Chain A
């Protein structure tokens, strides 16, 4: 099975612009989460969606929004880009293991550079 896929791989934007990042989960996974990873730090949780509903939100401004589609793919939107939004954006899809644990798998990420 294919893993989590993300597009685009790299993106360069200027301050004030808007960006849309896309993610396709592993087949059969119904949950998608988004993370921001700034250089030298661990990933920071942004959103989680399950069955098209937002199930969790991290401490990010309203400029960040997301949605999940009926096929469980997801988009992350960021408005009014700031220099500080430059980061690796990671998408993860989740499944429940046979033991009932919530297990998460990551895509390769989208590298966003804001100039």
Chain B
């Protein structure tokens, strides 16, 4: 079973707007990673945030992590048509080497 759930399942915005997607998980984690996937191809690693971190930035990406609420958010600022993809969060379960993925958010950025 998948422990992560992304919200919303689908998101459609205009180019230039910001996109926010959320991820919730159920058990203790070592870290959380966000990935992008275009049209059923391989996953592109976006950002890793450790369980003792609260916020990280990478270019137009901002990730937050709230371990008390077992949730994370990914913010993409000034979105572009090329950002159209599915976005997944993956959590590394504490004490294991097993990553659990959520069901993904399908983002569509309209030009």
Q: Identify the A interface with B (CB < 8 A).
A: 4, 31, 33, 35, 37, 39, 41-45, 48, 50, 55-56, 58, 88, 90, 92, 94, 97, 99, 101-109, 111
CB of B30 within 8 Å of the partner chain: yes
From residue 64 to 111 of chain B, which have CB atoms closer than 8 A to chain A? 88, 90, 92, 96-104
Closest 9 CB pairs of A and B: A42-B101, A108-B42, A106-B43, A56-B97, A43-B101, A106-B42, A48-B97, A56-B98, A101-B31
Contacting residue for B2 out of A42, A97, A109, CB 8 A: A42
26 A–B contacts, CB within 8 A, in A order: A31-B97, A35-B101, A37-B40, A41-B103, A42-B2, A42-B4, A43-B90, A44-B2, A45-B100, A56-B96, A56-B97, A56-B98, A88-B40, A90-B42, A92-B43, A99-B50, A101-B31, A102-B31, A103-B31, A103-B33, A104-B33, A104-B45, A105-B45, A106-B35, A107-B42, A109-B41
From residue 29 to 69 of chain B, which have CB atoms closer than 8 A to chain A? 30-31, 33, 35, 40-45, 48, 50
Interface centre among A43, A48, A105 (most CB of B within 10 A): A43
Chain B residues near A99 (CB-CB < 8 A): 50
**A/B pair count, beta carbons within 8 Å:** 71
Do residues B48 and A101 form an inter-chain contact, with CB atoms below 8 A? Answer: yes
Do residues B43 and A103 form an inter-chain contact, with CB atoms below 8 A? Answer: no
Chain B residues near A56 (CB-CB < 8 A): 96-98
Do residues B45 and A103 form an inter-chain contact, with CB atoms below 8 A? Answer: yes
Secondary structure type dominating chain A contacts? strand
Do residues A58 and B98 form an inter-chain contact, with CB atoms below 8 A? Answer: yes
Interface centre among A50, A56, A99, A102 (most CB of B within 10 A): A102
Do residues B92 and A42 form an inter-chain contact, with CB atoms below 8 A? Answer: no
C-alpha gap A105/B102 in the complex (Å): 17
C-alpha gap A50/B96 in the complex (Å): 13
Do residues B99 and A45 form an inter-chain contact, with CB atoms below 8 A? Answer: yes
Q: Do A42 and B99 contact each other (CB < 8 Å), given the known contacts A103-B45, A106-B44?
A: no
